[in-house]
């Protein structure tokens, strides 16, 4: 069988030492007849993650461990993108575990759909390192029948503008369009939403109703911890995206109103804002069909997520 195109695995890591044994084992167990490289970016960890990575991958071919001062996942991911050698990129969060056939399955989808720029699947949760390792152990469970999986090709932009349910680990992307769009928006701390929005302007996504990876039920220090960081960064990424891309007015209006509602709900439910508040006024003003006003409203809405808890910002260095 002819080898498949090569895949660069990109894994930003920040203080993930307790999760690295299962993360690295998931990478090691990836099946498929394709060349591969593993690029880890240690983003200024203080818990020994960089040293643990070196120990866990000792003897592996084609491993690159880069270290930098803590600058945030968008900047770390872009550094990994710049270092990638292969035509496909498999993004992996530093505490997620790939199922053994995850990469070969997603790669097959992109090869079947050459117009698509990204393929993604679903995630399930794992409760402990032992749980994750047991679920990727050979013979631990029957391999899923991927032939029966429901697959669809979608115009992802309208979907992403209404909701954001993907993490980097869900996805495998073509390297060329990732670079063409400039990778992640480094003005935004978290990396996933800005990158996905940008990629959605370059072609369709392939979505598969199949579990391809495991994420921890709870993870100390995880960005998506129920706090305001991800929601803040969704609104901020949308602000920059809409400022730089001309979209149909109706589509833009729906996206802005969704973001303003997100800010209002956070302020109302988590910050105990009054029923009539400036966040409600911003939400109502989002119905006004004035493009420049919408961007100003989006910018103001980001403050709803910093009322009682700070959010992190990228550090360009």
Q: Is residue 168 within 8 Å of 102, Cβ to Cβ?
A: no
Residue 145 lies in a domain: yes
Q: Which structural domain range is residue 242 located in?
A: 229-306
The predicted pLDDT at position 220 comes to 59
Q: Are residues 211 and 236 in the same domain?
A: no
Spell 225-251 as b/e; 16+ CB within 10 A means b.
eeebbbbbbbbbbbbbbbeeeebeeee
The predicted pLDDT at position 146 comes to 77
Neighbours of 1 (CB within 10 A): 4
Question: Hey, is 44 helix, strand or coil?
Answer: coil
End position of a domain, from candidates 192, 216, 240: 216
End position of a domain, from candidates 216, 240, 264: 216
Spell 138-156 as b/e; 16+ CB within 10 A means b.
eeeeeeeebeeeeeebeeb
Q: Are residues 18 and 46 in the same domain?
A: yes
The predicted pLDDT at position 317 comes to 64
Q: Are residues 212 and 237 in the same domain?
A: no
Answer yes or no: is pLDDT of 44 > 60.
yes
CATH number, residue 47:
3.90.550.10
**Rounded to the nearest 5 degrees, what angle is found at the Cα of 242, between the Cα atoms of 173 and 116?**
25
The predicted pLDDT at position 33 comes to 94
CA distances in angstroms from 242 to 31, 86, 112, 235, 294, listed in the order given: 39, 31, 31, 11, 10
| Residue 173 dihedral angles phi and psi, to the nearest 5° | -130, 160
Q: Are residues 191 and 245 in the same domain?
A: no
Q: Is residue 291 within 8 Å of 252, Cβ to Cβ?
A: yes
Q: Is residue 188 within 8 Å of 234, Cβ to Cβ?
A: no
* CA–CA distance, 94 with 53 (Å, rounded to integer): 11
Q: Report the candidate in 205, 229, 248, 243 with the shortest Cα–Cα distance to residue 313.
A: 229
Residue 78 lies in a domain: yes
Q: Are residues 49 and 131 in the same domain?
A: yes
**pLDDT tens-digit readout, 26-38:** 999 999 999 999 9
Q: Report the candidate in 233, 4, 235 with the shortest Cα–Cα distance to residue 106.
A: 4
Residue 316 lies in a domain: no
Q: Are residues 197 and 239 in the same domain?
A: no
Q: Report the candidate in 80, 113, 82, 102 with the shortest Cα–Cα distance to residue 34.
A: 102
pTM: 0.93
Rounded to an integer, the average pLDDT of 88-115 is 96
Neighbours of 289 (CB within 10 A): 11
Residue 317 lies in a domain: no
CA distances in angstroms from 93 to 60, 77, 203, 211, listed in the order given: 20, 10, 24, 16
Answer yes or no: is pLDDT of 207 > 70.
yes
* pLDDT band, residue 203 (cuts 50/70/90): very high
Q: Are residues 122 and 186 in the same domain?
A: yes
**pLDDT tens-digit readout, 281-316:** 999 999 998 878 999 999 999 999 999 989 998 877
Dihedral of the alpha carbons of 251, 252, 253, 257, in degrees to the nearest 10: 110
**pLDDT tens-digit readout, 3-25:** 789 999 999 999 999 999 999 99
Q: Work out whether strand 88-91 and strand 205-216 pair parallel, antiparallel, or are unpaired.
A: unpaired
* CA–CA distance, 77 with 135 (Å, rounded to integer): 27
């Amino acid at each position: 069988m002819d080898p498949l195109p090569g895949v660069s695995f990109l894994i930003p890591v920040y203080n993930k030492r307790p999760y690295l044994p299962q993360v690295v084992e998931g990478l090691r167990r990836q099946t498929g007849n394709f060349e591969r490289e593993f690029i880890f970016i240690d983003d200024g960890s203080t818990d020994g993650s960089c040293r643990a990575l070196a120990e866990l991958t000792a003897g592996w071919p084609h491993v690159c461990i880069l270290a930098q001062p803590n600058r945030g996942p968008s900047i770390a991911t872009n550094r990994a993108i710049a270092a990638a050698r292969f035509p496909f990129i498999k993004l992996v969060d530093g505490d997620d575990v790939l199922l053994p056939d995850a990469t070969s399955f997603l790669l097959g989808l992109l090869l079947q759909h050459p117009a698509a720029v990204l393929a993604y699947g679903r995630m399930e949760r794992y409760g402990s390192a032992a749980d994750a390792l047991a679920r990727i152990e050979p013979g631990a469970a029957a391999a899923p029948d991927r032939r029966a999986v429901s697959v669809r090709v979608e115009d992802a932009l309208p979907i992403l503008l209404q909701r954001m349910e993907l993490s980097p680990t869900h996805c495998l992307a073509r390297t060329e369009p990732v670079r063409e769009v400039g990778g992640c928006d480094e003005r935004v701390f978290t990396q996933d939403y800005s990158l996905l929005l940008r990629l959605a302007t370059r072609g369709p996504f392939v979505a598969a109703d199949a579990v391809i990876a495991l994420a921890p039920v709870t993870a100390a220090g995880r960005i998506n911890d129920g706090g305001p960081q991800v929601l803040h960064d969704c609104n901020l990424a949308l602000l920059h995206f809409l400022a730089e891309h001309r979209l149909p007015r109706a589509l833009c209006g729906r996206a802005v109103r969704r973001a303003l509602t997100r800010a209002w709900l956070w302020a109302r439910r988590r910050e105990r804002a009054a029923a009539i508040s400036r966040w409600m006024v911003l939400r109502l003003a989002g119905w006004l069909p004035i493009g420049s006003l919408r961007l100003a409203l989006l910018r103001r809405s980001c403050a709803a997520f910093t009322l009682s808890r700070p959010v992190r910002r990228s550090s360009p260095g």
